Structure 1
Amino acid sequence: MGSSKKNNVRTISQEAFDAFVKENIEDLGLDPTEALQDAIETLTLQGVDLSGIVTCIPGVSSVNDNPVIQCLDRLKEIDLNDSTMKEMTELLDKLCDLCSEEGSGNQSIAIRNGGLDLVISICSKIKVTNNEHEHALVSALKAMACLIYDLQSTEAFRKNDGTKIVVDILNSCHENIAILNSGFSVVAAAATGNELVKESFMDLKVDELLVQILRGKNKEGIQHPYDAIRVLLTADDGRVLASQVYGYARRFAKIGIVEALVSALHEGINSPNLISASIALKAVAVNDEICMSIAEHGGIDAVLLCIDDSGEQNNKIVAKSCCTLLCKLAGSDANKSAIVQKRGMDRLIKLSCRFSDDPSVLQEIMSIICTLSLRSPGNAASAVEAGAGDFAIQAMQNFPAAHQMQKQSCLMIRNLVVRNPENRTILLGNGIEKIIRKAKENHASCRDAATDALRDLGLDNYNM
């Protein structure tokens, strides 16, 4: 059959697949449509990975009729010069569109037929000397990002020296917004799930380039650099036991990324980069020192203001992203005090009233209050005084099926009462025991958190 094993997955070549279909026609007497369908079903049942195989009906169409193959073949034929630059741009845009069609399998077809290698080669040869060159390079980078979507493609990118080619382009065109955006989309795609690619980018000092760009005059028009930071600082390669991303985050912090990202937060809720910047900043905040640095540069003030504005403008996406960041910053004891001193508890409870209909937002608010109250009886007292107890009771009653929110509420309640006997009296008097027991009974994921909350509420029968 011409199949082979690779990473415990059986594969088959295009030639072997076509021969299988032909055999079905000639030996079994099946008509072309039946022969193709039988080949697909038989090979799938045998565990053969058919991704990237062009499945065409013999006599009706051929592999060469596939639009991806046609696009790649033409790109291979074109000589790179000024007269062909427009056609090349159109072909690269078409390839990108084809590979963006969800469920089409076109990405796999392009990869199997050398599409990524080809596009990387094209990028390495385009020198931006005029607008047409710029458009072609932007299209090539966009096509490259479309073709990088799994471990196989990120490895192909790395082995074809893609990291150096892309970083060289970004360094030489660091004032071109279109090239920066498309180039950093490649960085984000290629570094996803591949520790070696992250390492290669960091060896090429992409961190210094990112900080330079985010502190530059063109920062308002770019978005993908934030995505690149997030990916570079995410430990998402299952093959690696100990990721280096913690060290990378410290490197980013040392060269000024905190100031650049906090500056983006100060632009406020209407900034198109607010959410991306908050997610990137959360990835950078890996230790107490960095969390405190973010606060020193006005990060807590900026986040709290954005939280206030998200409630006023009913923007749930901003509310959730900023709450997630604030929770990370609250991991620092010094920051806990700062958040509470800035009326953080009152502002969070106010936000919970604004989004009382969305358990996903309420869950994020509970996470912050839980973190602020951890080992801090003073903050726990402030939280209950601000209305955190009533907030927990109402949310758990209103959304009994929201198991993650129910669990987070139990965790928050535990921190509110474990060192504050007066809070136990208040919450028990308001009927919290019955609500927690209901969550424990209804959701397996809540049992441990509910048991701990009942125990720290001072109940003897907490295991029941």
Structure 2
Amino acid sequence: MAQAWPKAKPKLTQEAFDEAVASNIEDFDMARDEAIKSAIEEFNVQGYDLSSVVTEMAGSDLDSHPIAVACRGLKDALKDEGSLKEALAALSASLLPSCTDAPADEGAQASTSGAPAGAGLTQEASVIAHKGEAMQSLLEACRRLQGQEQPEELLQALRLLQRLLSWLETRDAFTDAKGVELIHELLKAEGSSGEVRVAAAAVAEAAARGVEEAKCRLVDSGTVAALLQLLQAPDAPLDLISASCGVLRSVTTADDERPPSSKAFVHARLLSKHHAAIRVLLQVLRRVPAAQEPATACRVLATVKTVAANEEICREFTDDGGVVACLQLLRECSGRRDVVRACLGALRQLAHSDTVKKLLAEAGAVPAVVAVVGEHEGAEDVAEAGLGLLGNMMLRQPEIAALGAEAGVPDLVLEAMQRHAARPAVPRQACLLIRIMVARSPELRPAYLERGAEALLRAAKAAHPNQCKDVGSAALRDLGLDNYND
């Protein structure tokens, strides 16, 4: 029987929440903060979705909030009842106190309002701005400002729009408001400056995050194809590369759990087949000076990882020299943890292909991975990615497993299990790698057993049963040990 999708939670209205807070204050003599906390707990227990409720200002006049006032001011300016420039500045100023930290992602652009354009907003600010139709007003402002010789106001509108799109409900409404079509126009317009295109791409990336409909519209409209065309220019600026890679990665990532399926794989295949996406990314990777611009290089590598979604695409990248280029970058930037992690991640995805496994082995990837993981011995993310890459390379490849044994992989694996014992990601990859190495090569068992692998595997199972019990038992079994399920 097919598994039923969970029913969506009913959305709580602001009026119902305000009434509950007022009742707590009046009927139970609660202080305001206590009344709000109690109402939140009660509605959560009842299974309501509170994402559209302004909780901290329950019972207050939201229409008088500075953000609501600024939203009305922008609407008035669009009716020629005020200065659009001043209205944009007022909205920016009203949002600034509610900005959260910028997301931990490479290539965030600086904002004219004093906060990073990649910064999001608190839920309170997002709800008020959404109720005030700020996103729709900003789209209209962008259309009106498009084509002006001085793009400062258009840039400010785009950066404000990017910030508003940190909230899911605003992103959901973006496609209905013809936001994708506007982005496409800005990217394709001959008069658009490089700064405008970068800002437009950043808006597209923000809009696609967690919203399948936006991803599909960006691909179907030709917006992503337009970005790939721009990336082919030899002088494409680094900030455009960074923003464009963000869009490509978004549309090839399945991160919206609401629809029954995702087209992320279809998008990766379509963009590579009809728009040479993987080849364009390789051209870009070769142009980016990774030592001087590591953040941009990491974004390109992360995009390679999501676009290389099947054997055909991996082969195409490999045939053009992409795997060798990534391995060379790994060696050249071995001291940079962020670039190393990104290189390992891209190669790990590519190594699902049997052709890539063998090419990597011939190019000396096994000792190179052992070296970089050892160089960053305290970095859990590097260890996890490195062990994962080695596991993919050695899967169904006993010849490569033998190379791994000669290169010191057993020592690396067991040292990583000891060093990162408290975090499940590394022990899990270690269990998988041990099993992969010895399953078809029983002669490699002593390399692990003589170094104390049994005790470490059993400890990993006990410490992390959800993540390591199954793979740990499998590794113990393939090592030839009894009681592997204990």
TM-score category of the 2 structures, normalised to the smaller one: 0.7 to 0.9
1:94 aligns with 2:93: yes
CA distance in 2, matches of 1:211, 1:461: 55
Task: Pick one of 260, 272, 275 that aligns with 2:280.
Answer: 260
Query: Displacement of 1:57 after TM fit?
Result: 9.1
Contact 2:352/2:392, CA 8 A, preserved across alignment: yes
CA distance in 2, matches of 1:214, 1:245: 21
Q: CA deviation digits over 1:56-87, x for unaligned, max 9? A: 598xx853442211211221222578x93532
Q: CA deviation digits over 1:415-462, x for unaligned, max 9? A: 111111221122222332222222223321211111111111122332
SS of 2:12's equivalent in the other structure is strand
The residue type paired with residue 464 of structure 2 is: H
1:45 aligns with 2:66: no
CA distance in 2, matches of 1:238, 1:363: 26
Could you say if the C-alpha distance between residues 360 and 97 of structure 1 is closer, same or farther in structure 2, counting changes exceeding 3 Å? same
Q: CA deviation digits over 1:246-287, x for unaligned, max 9? A: 111112112122222112322334324111111111111011
The residue type paired with residue 291 of structure 1 is: C
Which segment is superposed worse, 113-122 or 277-286?
Answer: 113-122
Contact 2:438/2:444, CA 8 A, preserved across alignment: yes
Contact 1:141/1:186, CA 8 A, preserved across alignment: yes
1:162 aligns with 2:187: no
Find the counterpart in structure 2 of residue 3 from structure 1: none
Find the counterpart in structure 2 of residue 9 from structure 1: 10
Find the counterpart in structure 2 of residue 241 from structure 1: 260
Find the counterpart in structure 1 of residue 244 from structure 2: 225
Could you say if the C-alpha distance between residues 8 and 219 of structure 1 is closer, same or farther in structure 2, counting changes exceeding 3 Å? same
Could you say if the C-alpha distance between residues 116 and 54 of structure 1 is closer, same or farther in structure 2, counting changes exceeding 3 Å? farther
Paired residues for 1:266-345 under 5 Å: 266=286, 267=288, 268-271=290-293, 272-311=295-334, 313=335, 315-345=336-366
CA distance in 1, matches of 2:22, 2:461: 60
Find the counterpart in structure 1 of residue 159 from structure 2: 142
Q: CA deviation digits over 1:28-77, x for unaligned, max 9? A: 798xx95797477447634673745486598xx85344221121122122
SS of 2:146's equivalent in the other structure is coil
Query: Displacement of 1:352 after TM fit?
Result: 1.6
SS of 2:83's equivalent in the other structure is helix
The residue type paired with residue 70 of structure 1 is: V
CA distance in 2, matches of 1:320, 1:461: 36
CA distance in 1, matches of 2:394, 2:218: 39
Contact 2:159/2:203, CA 8 A, preserved across alignment: yes
Paired residues for 1:448-463 under 5 Å: 448-463=470-485
Which segment is superposed worse, 449-458 or 265-274?
Answer: 265-274
Gaps of 5+ in 2: 1-6, 101-120
CA distance in 2, matches of 1:35, 1:405: 46
Query: Displacement of 1:364 after TM fit?
Result: 1.0
1:432 aligns with 2:431: no
Larger radius of gyration: 1
SS of 1:78's equivalent in the other structure is helix
SS of 1:240's equivalent in the other structure is coil
Contact 1:145/1:185, CA 8 A, preserved across alignment: yes
SS of 1:273's equivalent in the other structure is helix
Contact 1:36/1:56, CA 8 A, preserved across alignment: no
Contact 2:72/2:132, CA 8 A, preserved across alignment: no
Task: Pick one of 109, 128, 144 that aligns with 1:109.
Answer: 128
CA distance in 2, matches of 1:237, 1:400: 32
Which segment is superposed worse, 87-96 or 44-53?
Answer: 44-53
Find the counterpart in structure 2 of residue 402 from structure 1: 423
Contact 1:323/1:364, CA 8 A, preserved across alignment: yes
SS of 2:352's equivalent in the other structure is coil
Find the counterpart in structure 1 of residue 368 from structure 2: 347
Contact 1:92/1:140, CA 8 A, preserved across alignment: no
Find the counterpart in structure 2 of residue 125 from structure 1: 144
CA distance in 2, matches of 1:415, 1:38: 56
The residue type paired with residue 86 of structure 1 is: K
Which segment is superposed worse, 110-119 or 225-234?
Answer: 110-119
CA distance in 2, matches of 1:401, 1:108: 39
CA distance in 1, matches of 2:74, 2:373: 55
Could you say if the C-alpha distance between residues 18 and 193 of structure 1 is closer, same or farther in structure 2, counting changes exceeding 3 Å? closer
SS of 1:198's equivalent in the other structure is helix
CA distance in 1, matches of 2:33, 2:430: 55
Q: CA RMSD in A?
A: 3.0
CA distance in 2, matches of 1:143, 1:344: 45
Q: CA deviation digits over 1:287-313, x for unaligned, max 9? A: 1110111112222122112222332x3
SS of 2:253's equivalent in the other structure is coil
How many residues are aligned here? 449
SS of 1:459's equivalent in the other structure is coil
Which segment is superposed worse, 183-192 or 88-97?
Answer: 88-97
1:369 aligns with 2:390: yes
The residue type paired with residue 131 of structure 2 is: R
CA distance in 2, matches of 1:334, 1:87: 59
The residue type paired with residue 279 of structure 2 is: E
Could you say if the C-alpha distance between residues 119 and 98 of structure 1 is closer, same or farther in structure 2, counting changes exceeding 3 Å? farther
Contact 1:366/1:409, CA 8 A, preserved across alignment: yes
CA distance in 1, matches of 2:367, 2:33: 65
CA distance in 2, matches of 1:37, 1:350: 56
Find the counterpart in structure 2 of residue 200 from structure 1: 217
The residue type paired with residue 194 of structure 2 is: I
CA distance in 2, matches of 1:174, 1:144: 21
Contact 1:120/1:162, CA 8 A, preserved across alignment: yes
1:447 aligns with 2:465: no
